[in-house]
Amino acid sequence: MHHNTIDVEHVSYAYPDGQMALRDVSLHVSSGERVALIGPNGAGKSTLLLHLNGLLKPQAGRVRVCGLDVGDGNLGPVRAAVGLVFQDPNDQLFCPTVFEDVAFGPLYQGLPEADIRTRVAAALEAVGMADFAARASYRLSLGEKKRIALATVLSLRPHILALDEPSAGLDPRARRGLIQLLTTVHPTLLIATHDLELVLDVCDRVVLLDEGRVIVEGCPGDVMCDVALMEVHGLERPHSLTPHAELHHLRCDALAKCVAPGNITNE
C-alpha cells in the first residue's frame, strides 16, 4: 500500500438519538500529509475519526483509507492500516500490563511471537517508555498513559495515524515530547485537537469543522490567522499568529499585573 490516503466522500452520520454529527463531509488527505481537524466541542471531529476505522458506519457517502473501502468486507486490513488513539487513555489501555496492551494489535494481526516482541520494544522505545513494559497500566500517570496509548498503535506500524486530542491533559514537557514525536513519525496523520499551537508545529493543513460541516480548509497559518472566522466557530487565534504590535500589548498587560503596587505585599 503505497497510497496512504484518506478519502471521505459526502459522509453524513446521525447518532441514535437523532442528533446529526456529520453533514455531507468530504475530505481528502494525501499520503504522508499531516492534517489537523479543529473545531469547537461537538463539531464532529471524534465522530469523523471513528469512521476511519469502521467503528461507525456512514449513513450516507463513503470512506476509503489506503484505497480500501471501509466496510464490512475489509475491516481487518483497514484496522491494521489505521492506528486510532482515543482521547481517554483509560479506554485505550485495557490490558493488565503495558506489554500486553502494546502487543494487542500485532497479536491480532497474527504476527509471529518474535516479531511481536520486536514491535513492542520498538514502539515503547519510540515514545520513550522502554522500561515500562512490565508495569501495570492502572498505576501510570496520565502523561505516561497517553504515551503508552500512542505506542499501542505505533506497534501496528500503521499507514495512517488518527489521534483524538493527543495533547489534552499533558504537562508542557510531555506535550513537547509528543510534538517532537509527531514531527518524526512517518504515517499520514489526522489529528483532532484544540491545541492550535501543536497544529502549527506539526500539521501541513487544517480542516475546520463546525456542527458536522467542513467550514474551511487550508494552510494552518492562513486559516487560524482569521480572527473573525476562528471566533465565530468557538476558537481563537493562537498567540504565535498574533501580530507583533498586539503581542507587545498583551505582554505589557501581563507584566503590568506583576509590578502593580501592592499586588503581592498587600494584606
Partner 1 sequence: MLHQLDARVKVNLTLSFILATTLTPPGAWPVLTLLAALALAVVILAELRARFVLVRTALALPFALAALPLLFTVAGTPLFELPWGWTASWEGLLRVANIVVKTWLSVLMAFTLTATTPFTAILVALRGWRLPRLLVTIVALTWRYLFVLVEEAQRLMRARAARSGQIVEGRGKSLAWRARVTGGMAGNLLLRGADRAERIYSAMSARGYDGEPRVVAQPPLTAGHRALLALGYLFLALLALTGILFWG
Residue linked to cell 504515551: 147
- Which of 26, 60, 91, 186 lies at the binding interface for partner 1 (CB under 8 A)? 91
C-alpha cell belonging to residue 45: 471531529
Q: Is residue 8 a contact point for partner 1 (CB under 8 A)?
A: no
The span from the first CA to the last CA of the chain, in angstroms, equals: 68
C-beta atoms surrounding 86 within 10 Å: 19
Displacement of CA 86 from its chain's centroid (Å): 8
Distance CA 194, CA 175 (A): 13
- Which of 152, 167, 188, 193 lies at the binding interface for partner 1 (CB under 8 A)? 152
Closer residue to partner 1 in complex, CB, 73/218: 73
Contact track, partner 1, 116-135, x by CB under 8 A: xx------------------
Contact track, partner 1, 23-62, x by CB under 8 A: ---------------------------x--x-x-------
Piece of the chain touching partner 1 by CB under 8 A; list 59-67, 111-119, 190-198, 239-247: 111-119
Sheet of strand 188-192: strand arrangement: 82-85, 160-164, 188-192, 34-38, 205-210, 213-218
CB 6 within 8 A of CB 27: yes
Contact track, partner 1, 155-174, x by CB under 8 A: -x------------------
Closer residue to partner 1 in complex, CB, 120/202: 120
Distance CA 228, CA 253 (A): 23
| Residues in contact with partner 1 by the rule CB under 8 A | 50, 53, 55, 76, 79-80, 82, 84, 86, 88, 90-97, 99-100, 103-105, 107-109, 113, 116-117, 136-138, 152-153, 156
